[in-house]
Amino acid sequence: MLKQIITLLLAQFAAIFIFCCGFFPQKNVLKGTADFTLESSVQSESKPVFDKLVLIVIDALRSDFVFEESISNFKFVHSLINDGEAWGFTAYSNPPTVTLPRLKGITTGSTPNFLDAILNVAEDDLSSNLKEQDSWLKQFVRQGKKIRFFGDDTWLKLFPVDFFQEYEGTNSFFVSDFEQVDLNVTRHLPHQLETQNEWDGLILHYLGLDHIGHKGGSRSVFMPSKHKEMDSVIKEIYENVDEDTLVCIMGDHGMNDVGNHGGSSPGETSSALVMISKKLKRFQPPLHQRGLHLPINMELQGRETNYDYLTKIQQVDFVPTLATLFNIPIPKNNVGIIIPDFLQLLENKIAAIKVEDNFNQLASILGRTPGVKNESIGQLFEQMRDLQEILTKSATNYKYNILAIGFGMLIIIAAIALWYGISIMQLSNSGLLTISLSLILGFAMFGSSFVEEEHQIWWWIITGTLLLSQLCLRKAYKLHFICLVCTRLIRGWNNSGQKYTYNNTIFELLKANPGIQWYLNLLTIFAVGMRGTMRDRLSFVLSFSLCALCGSYKVSWAIVNREYVPFWIQDIAFKSCLFFTEDQSNGVEVFNKALVPMAQFFFKYFIVCLAIKISASKMGVTKVNLFSMFSILLMLQSPSANIPIFLVFEALRSALSRLFKDHYNSNSYLISLSSLILQYFTFFQFGGTNSIASIDLSNAYNGVPENYNIYLVGFMMFVSNFAPTIYWSLYKSTISSSEDHKWILYAEQKIPFLIFNCIVGVFLLIACYIFRFHLFVWSVFSPKLCYFASWNIFMNIIIECGLEPIVRAFGT
């Protein structure tokens, strides 16, 4: 039976993978290089408005970081905007709001491909290279202009290095570093400014602000100093260039309040764009900038921010605007429109030609014949906005034959799984519950709001299931009461979903009261980690030392990130750090230097402890003991304010264990079903959502040096984001009572998972196909499909079929 079930699980994943290959193909683009299509001789002989370009991309530079009084520290930029030497805009970044697709947007003017969001983390991927695709960089090189680049190495993945006269890349995914990663860019500035006669374009891409967001959120204590650092860089550049140099400051995307990005919330899609030149002072600033004094206080003005400051444009509008100002052809795949305010910098005749050329270029992408005779510039702009709306909403060219193969496979596998499951479970109560649960979630896949707020469905399911159990077992009211209290605490721990946020979550309350948080953290680490070790001295020592290491690391991490920790706890952690660094000073630097070696030692020691416990069979190591060891690892990979939730997990696990053993005769199907519900419920209440933006990278680099392995970081990222899910996956093995039939029970517990994933998978694939041209296909349905596929490979295969058998095999 076990062999057949694992085969079906693997086949199910294969079907989903095949469907994804058809749903996320590479986008078809126009190849070649554009030329002037209208009065080419006049345009070629026209003098460009600017001779040199300095492009400063500050990763995740949200609009309010530059324009809002309550958060912005870009004082020099404010002074330039107030003097008219800089024009500011809020640039809308099309989702997915991650670096690679956004860099494609600001260089080619094209709309993003969701596959780029996945390729964004593949360091050695070359499939997203823009060598054959038109861009303003390619046009610069074509005209003999010299470009120099320093910063995020994603640019070097996108463009051939021979585009750049000089270059140096910095790694974009080592989010623990937000100082050196920017200093490595800034150190090139003195030489570049001294030799500015030797280049025509200078591109600088700073990553530090984005890294701070991932580590501490948009209002991290490190943000003000980073703003000032970037502001001083802008000042240094501006004061050393002439009026024929255009300095552009922009974010590739924004971020949400947690500091993540990838989704379509206003904070993630609203990036800042500031164009700076002494020449601009001679012209009228954009309408929404006139009469305003920066920074802006939206609250005093009685306006909701929604991150809309000054004039709002599409971020891709930057591309044709840049092409116009530097008198180069607009890239072939551009869907942007020239920002009208910059036309006044051109002669009237040239401005009219440029607008018509932009219109012709947009029409050519749609295969339309241009028809602009006797139309005013205003009318052309109206038509271009209509064309832009059509082009930005156009979907990928799906591979329908591959979609059909994947979907057909899943239908067959679902039918086999359903027949197989029903024949074994005999349409028992647990079987009916599994099918009902699967259908509820399956039908929910057809509503974008249900997908965005899926955590609400799991909350209704878990409370409904517990109440139904209470009606059936009235004598077990104490255990049901404990379970309901625990689930309510879990429910209120974090914000989840994508539509609503609450200020008074337990997570936020703990962050506001760090003293209480750290007492709870240490209590949780030792209470959870020491469970099941009291009967054996060696087991006790190994688990205690692991807990101490885990606690010391989390304290050190918090201190380095300027979080408050009680002094007596700091003192203990400091003494621990001295074992991992030769630095004997008393500052934060000791904690900082000890972080990586301490975490590396923890992981090595964890493996040693696990090996000792497994090999020393005479110790009679229990499943609970092994389970507790893995819980320590999961707590290490969790945010500090989420650690106490494991104490609630323990109380809930203990109550459920008694409930199943005393009242349900350890029914393996019900245990499996409870595990399934709790995996999804706690995943969302831990802070997870169906959006890429909620992926937490802050613990993915624990113990990782700068020369890191992307696959190791990827695995640790999964462990960090799926920590509660892994906990409730392994919990099944601690309840099983029969050692003689443990592998039969293990196989039986896979049946509800198989049925659930097949039924929900079928509905999800149908929904993705039906809504493939829907407005939310890239912001809702595509991320959900990615999460579903990731869940299948990581949880259902790696954890359920890899890690759980270890606990079952070696625990007693």
pLDDT one-digit tens code per residue, 527-560? 999 987 777 788 889 999 999 999 999 999 999 8
pLDDT of residue 126: 47
Picking from 254-263, 655-664, 753-762, 782-791, which range would have the lowest pLDDT averaged per residue?
Answer: 254-263
In the chain the domains, ranked by start, together with CATH numbers, are 52-114+129-345 (3.40.720.10), 398-532+622-810 (no CATH)
Average pLDDT over residues 18-42: 85
Average pLDDT over residues 187-199: 95
pLDDT in tens, 303-360: 666 899 999 999 999 999 999 999 999 999 999 999 999 999 999 999 999 999 999 9
Average pLDDT over residues 563-578: 91
Strands 245-250 and 270-276: antiparallel
**Does the structure show a pLDDT above 60 at 123?**
no
Average pLDDT over residues 266-271: 92
Strands 52-58 and 201-206: parallel
**Does the structure show a pLDDT above 90 at 634?**
yes
Contact 298, 68 (CB under 8 A): yes
**Does the structure show a pLDDT above 60 at 125?**
no
**Does the structure show a pLDDT above 60 at 692?**
yes
Give the strand order in the sheet containing 270-276: 164-170, 147-152, 201-206, 52-58, 245-250, 270-276, 86-92, 311-314
Q: Residue with structure tokens 């095949």?
A: 18
Q: What is the pTM of this model?
A: 0.85
Q: pLDDT > 90: what percent of the chain?
A: 59
When pLDDT is cut at 50, 70 and 90, the band that residue 301 belongs to is low
Picking from 61-70, 376-385, 769-778, which range would have the lowest pLDDT averaged per residue?
Answer: 769-778
**Does the structure show a pLDDT above 70 at 738?**
no
Q: How many CB atoms lie within 10 A of CB 40?
A: 13
When pLDDT is cut at 50, 70 and 90, the band that residue 259 belongs to is confident
| Most confident option among 295-299, 489-493, 731-735 | 489-493
Cα 150 to Cα 167: distance, rounded to the nearest angstrom: 5
Q: Is 422 helix (H, G, I), strand (E, B) or coil?
A: helix
Pick 3 or 739 by higher pLDDT: 3
pLDDT of residue 120: 58
**Does the structure show a pLDDT above 50 at 221?**
yes
pLDDT of residue 241: 95
Average pLDDT over residues 96-111: 89
Pick 729 or 704 by higher pLDDT: 729
Average pLDDT over residues 365-389: 81
Query: DSSP letter string over 772-792?
Result: TTSTTIIIIIHHHHHHHHHHI
Separation of first and last alpha carbons in the chain: 23
Pick 279 or 616 by higher pLDDT: 279
pLDDT of residue 491: 95
Q: Which residues of 461-484 are buried (b: 16+ CB within 10 A; e: fewer)?
A: bbbebbeebbeeeeebeebbebbb
Contact 148, 195 (CB under 8 A): no
Mean pLDDT of all residues belonging to the chain: 89
